[in-house]
Amino acid sequence: MSLPPLVEPAAELTVDEVRRYSRHLIIPDVGMAGQKRLKNAKVLCVGAGGLGSPALMYLAAAGVGTLGIIDFDVVDESNLQRQIIHGQSDVGRLKAESAAASVREINPLVEVVIHNTALTTENVMEIFSGYDLIVDGTDNFATRYMVNDAAVLLGKPYVWGSIYRFDGQASVFWAEHGPCYRCLYPEPPPPGMVPSCAEGGVLGVLCASIGSIQVNEAIKLLTGIGDPLVGRLMIYDALEMKYRDVKVRKDPECVLCGKNPTVTKLLEDYEAFCGAISDEAAQAASGSTITAQELKAMQDNGDKIFLVDVREPNEYEIVSIPGATLIPKGEFLNGSALEKLPQDKRIVLHCKSGARSAEALAVVKSAGFSDAVHVGGGVLSWVKTVDPSLPSY
């Protein structure tokens, strides 16, 4: 489905711009008019991480006139395997600042707007309103639904991408011309059902594959060329080296963009909507959460505890808390872990950050281990507050 150009052309290109973008200018479908549209475009990248890195770099190289970067995180060494816009010297630096420096090095003709803040319901509408197009590089469902809802309410298109291990997906959501994200995923998955990249990993180069597709779609939308991924979901399998696309139809009953929408403004709490953890896990963790320092004190005092790591084996190999026994969360969910738990010791569960161990804690408590607890913050908290010599991930 061909769509009209998203932006009007700039008045002119300078001599320096003509030199820089000459390989675009000689493509008939882009030409002078297309490059002027890119110069006049304002694009916001939500996230300067795995997908945001290649997206920002190629948007800058393509000559998008104004690039916005929103990210509140800092560069960690574990990011460098895939977030190629950052380097070793950027570790500890704000990602938005680091990404902006790289963008300016790639193309000093691009105006960079930095948003060193978390995207929230309080600022998303104001920030999005200053841009023609949104490129979504987020990695959590709460932000994805908020980005979608804000884009639909503002009438703006956005290019979406998602990555996990060896698989990637991309699409363009524009309610005016096709479906929105809620048409594809009306409800978020149950808490804990879909691991994040931080939990399950991602092949670094997959970010480049999906990020470059997002930029390709952005250029098509801005210049009005080609057939954008509106109404289509592109699926990429890196192991099989296969691309396929699935038609996504606009849902007439969509609560946001359907005929009779019931969602007419942003939700008050997207974290609650997506359920960071289930109600059962939240209830189990209430009053049964200890800190990493409290766990260390238990160990030092010789308390009779049975420490269980509910992460996956590959995570356990990277770093583990001394004395922990590995029993992955899946074994708690199917019940097979219960026979491995001693009756004469207090059960202490942990994972990477606390979400998975809370889910396992709900199972353990329902099985009668009433004094069981879990470690809030998990391994990340242990490394940060107890033993910084251990690697983080």
CA–CA distance, 260 with 65 (Å, rounded to integer)? 38
Q: Which residues contact 96 (CB under 8 A, 6 or more apart)?
A: 48, 69, 70, 71, 72, 114, 115, 116
3-state secondary structure of 56: helix
Active-site choice (45, 183, 254, 351): 351
Question: Beta-carbon neighbour count of residue 244 at 10 Å?
Answer: 9
List residues bridging with 245 in a β-sheet.
Answer: 234
Q: Known catalytic residue: 180?
A: no
Task: Identify which of 35, 82, 83, 26 has the alpha carbon closest to the alpha carbon of residue 61.
Answer: 35
3-state secondary structure of 272: helix
CA–CA distance, 181 with 254 (Å, rounded to integer)? 10
No. of helices (H) and no. of strands (E), the chain: 17, 13
In the sheet that 346-350 helps form, which strands lie side by side, from edge to edge? 289-290, 373-375, 346-350, 305-309, 325-326
For residues 150 and 158, the answer to whether their CB atoms sit within 8 Å is: no
Q: Which residues contact 216 (CB under 8 A, 6 or more apart)?
A: none
For residues 327 and 296, the answer to whether their CB atoms sit within 8 Å is: no
Burial class (CB in 10 A: 0-12, 13-18, 19+), 281: buried
Question: Beta-carbon neighbour count of residue 232 at 10 Å?
Answer: 18
Active-site choice (197, 254, 257, 274): 197
Using alpha carbons only, what angle is made at residue 99 by residues 65 and 135, rounded to the nearest 5 degrees?
A: 60
Element (H, E) at 162: strand 158-164
Q: Known catalytic residue: 183?
A: no
Hey, which residues are catalytic here?
Answer: 197, 351
